[in-house]
Amino acid sequence: MISMLTGTPIVQGTECVVLCGGVGYGVSVNEKTLQKVSAQKEITLYIHTHVREDELKLYGFLTMQERHFFEMLLNHVQGVGPRTALAITNSSVAEISQAVEEGDVEFFTEFPRVGKKLAQKIILELRSKLGDAKDLELSFIGTKQKDIHEALSTLGYSDKEIAKTLRGLDTNGLTIEAAIKESLKALNTR
């Protein structure tokens, strides 16, 4: 089974072909991933191989956490197929976690093929798989975000305030100190 591909991305419509050693693998990706890979010369995608009686399809993700959420949706929520799960993973892992924690049905009903009942089922199933709110918020964020979270927590901000701020903050390319300053600015403007 293919679990990861590294190679040259070739964007073809809504699909990405990853050229590895002279072989092009057609990989279905979400819109966010498609935009990011189109500007790169080499990419690594974490792959979920979906096998049905009449189909073998590859789904690709930039992070293992995205792939994990995709697989949780497929394996634990009856009524969610690969296209729906892929659309949901177009949101960040933190946004999905927050929606599950808060029971935000409207967040999920914005995706194609997700009605109110399916949204409720997604929330119930994922909530039981992800644990309590603190684990939910911190289990899928990187080391930098954990350091920022710890620093802001020490300053007296609640986990919910910090999580909301971190979701709206792009920390890529920032040092931890700069990211903490940006977080404090965001927290103080609310």
CATH number at residue 35: 2.40.50.140
> For the whole model, what pTM was predicted?
0.67
Averaged over 154-169, what is the pLDDT? 76
Domain count, the chain: 3
Residues 52 and 105 in one domain: no
Residues 96 and 122 in one domain: yes
Q: Is the per-residue pLDDT at 133 higher than 70?
A: no
Per-residue pLDDT tens for 12-52?
888 899 999 999 999 999 999 999 998 899 999 999 999 98
Report the mean per-residue pLDDT for the chain.
Answer: 85
Task: Give yes or no: residues 169 and 146 share one domain.
Answer: yes
Domain end (from 33, 61, 89): 61
Provide the token pair at 108: 């999920």
Q: Residue 25 and residue 4: Cα distance in Å, rounded?
A: 11
* Pair (69, 131) in one structural domain: yes
Percent of the chain with pLDDT over 70: 92
Flag whether pLDDT at 167 surpasses 90: no
101 and 71 fall within a common domain: yes
Torsion of CA 41, 47, 53, 54, to 10 degrees: -10
Residue 119 banded pLDDT, cuts 50, 70, 90 = very high
What value, to the nearest 5°, has the Cα angle with vertex 95 and ends 91 and 66?
55
pLDDT(92) > 50: yes
The answer to whether residue 141 scores a pLDDT higher than 60 is no
Alpha helices in 29-158 (DSSP H): 31-37, 64-76, 82-88, 93-102, 105-109, 116-130, 133-138, 143-154
Q: What CATH number did the domain enclosing 166 receive?
A: 1.10.8
One domain for residues 16 and 38: yes
Q: Which amino acid is at 14?
A: T
The structure tokens 């999905």 sit at: 96
The per-residue pLDDT for 137 is 44
CATH of residue 96's domain is: 1.10.150.20
- The share of the chain scoring above pLDDT 90, in percent, equals 51
Q: Which domain holds residue 161?
A: 141-188
Give the pLDDT band (50/70/90) at residue 136. Answer: very low
pLDDT tier for residue 190 given thresholds of 50, 70 and 90: low
52 and 70 fall within a common domain: no
